[in-house]
Amino acid sequence: MTVRLLFGAVVLVIFFAAPHFLAEFQLFQVCLIAATALVVLGIVVVTGIAGQISLAQAAFVGLGGYGPAILAARYGVPVWAGIMITAVVVGAVGYALGQLTLRVSGHYLALATMAFTAIVQLAFIHSDAVTGGAVGMQMPTLEISGKTFASGGTLYYVVLPVVGVLFLAVHNLIHSPVGRAFAAIRQSETAAAAMGIDVLAHKSAAFAASGFLGAIGGGLLGLLSTYLDPSQFGITQAVYYLAVAVVGGMQSPLGAIVGSAVFVLVPEFLQAFQTYLGLVFALLLLVFIVLRPNGLVSLASDLLRIVGGKQQRGAA
């Protein structure tokens, strides 16, 4: 318990100290990493832990952005409320999508979720009156009790706490009977059902969680980029989020953070090679899925195990 408190205290100190050491743009990037990580956390839950491949994440992100923007433009709903309402609705959509898994798994599930993303993206493009069509639409500025949050420096105080709390909740969930049931379903559905686990309900719950997390992440990403471009919510982007998860490590929330940091920061270091960025990301995905399917996090834990193993032998 004291370890947890200490860890919490350190996190808080870093959280409040960071703005004094980082420039505005760097804070913006921290927010970008955090919001992307939240989107990818959805993939960690549904694909990494529960074993259900999903290419729906880009659609969830798109819905999470368009939802609050449309609610604000048409009905004057405050953005923060719009993001929350949308996330709950998208969570329900995710639950419904999860019901597909009653009849579909493996490559058919990949295909069905891919088709879902394609349909949602086409809906954004063809509903000109509501979404601005192919041109896209402006994301309204976040205002909470008269204060506006428009820059990296101010959004930092909103994005990081939200992402932090949700990561903590998911971490806890994974280390609970619910998370164990997800993992059981991934490893043997037949045995999981024989243990009394309602497989369909749990898969649907995992999809609901991925929808909820993707939508909140999409809302935050929208706030950061200030503009919603429908071309950002297609199958290509769905594969991109999957790539972030694979490279970071799909079986742990930490992997979502590590992967997002890599995919957000690498372009900064490769600014001279902007044209090759897509290729670099694609190659990263390919190399990792073949050689390191559990991502950078597994690399780190393997290193720790080697070091730890040496110490044990030294002690014995």
Partner 1 sequence: MLAQVLVSSITAGAVYALIALGFVLIHKGTGVVHFGYGDQVTFGAYLVLIGQAFIGLRFDVAVAGALVASVLLGAIIYLAFMWPLRNASLLARIIASLALGTVLREFLRSYMGPNAWPFPFLLSSTSVPVGGVLIVPANLAIVGVAIAVLVALYLIFDRTIYGKAILAACENSTGASLVGVHVSTVFLLIWILASVLATVAGILVAPLLTLSPDMGLIGIKGFTAAVLGGFNSLPGAVAGGIALGILEALAGTYVSSALKDMISYAILIAVILVRPQGLFGELTLKKV
Partner 2 sequence: MTSALLTIQNLTVRFGGLVALDDVSLDIAPRSIQAVIGPNGAGKSTLINVATGIYGATSGRVDYDGARIDGRAPHAISRLGIARTFQNTELFGEMSALENVMIGADRHMCGSYLSSAMHGPAYWRTEQAIRAEARRLLELVGLGNDTDVEAAALPFGKQRRLEIARALATRPRLLLLDEPAAGLRSAEIDELNSILLDLRANLGLTILVIDHVMALVMAISDHITVLNFGRKIAEGSPQEVRSSPEVIKAYLGEKAAHASHS
Interface with partner 1, residue 270, by CB under 8 A? no
Interface with partner 1, residue 286, by CB under 8 A? yes
Q: Which of 138, 148, 176, 236 binds partner 2 (CB under 8 A)?
A: 176
Q: Half-sphere exposure of 260 toward its Cβ, with a 13 Å CA cutoff? A: 24
Hey, what are 147's tokens?
Answer: 């204060």
Interface with partner 1, residue 25, by CB under 8 A? no
Is the dihedral angle over the CA atoms 24, 263, 160, 21 positive or is it negative? negative
Interface with partner 1, residue 96, by CB under 8 A? no
Interface with partner 2, residue 24, by CB under 8 A? no
Residue with tokens 């952005």: 65
What's the burial of 261, exposed, middle or buried (CB within 10 Å: 0-12/13-18/19+)? buried
Distance separating alpha carbons of residues 37 and 14, to the nearest angstrom? 18
Q: Of partner 2, partner 1, none, which one sits near residue 181, judging by CB under 5 to 8 A according to partner kind?
A: partner 2
Interface characters, 184-213, with partner 1 (x: CB under 8 A): ------x-----------------------
Are 18 and 31 within 8 A, CB to CB? no
Q: Of partner 2, partner 1, none, which one sits near residue 137, judging by CB under 5 to 8 A according to partner kind?
A: none
Q: Which of residues 29-68 bind partner 1 (CB under 8 A)?
A: 47, 51, 53
Report the SS3 class of residue 76: coil
Considering the complex, what minimum distance in angstroms separates the CB of residue 73 from partner 2? 33
Residues pairing with 148 in the sheet: 143
Q: What residues line the site for partner 2 (CB under 8 A)?
A: 169-170, 172-173, 175-181, 183-184, 187-188, 190-199, 205
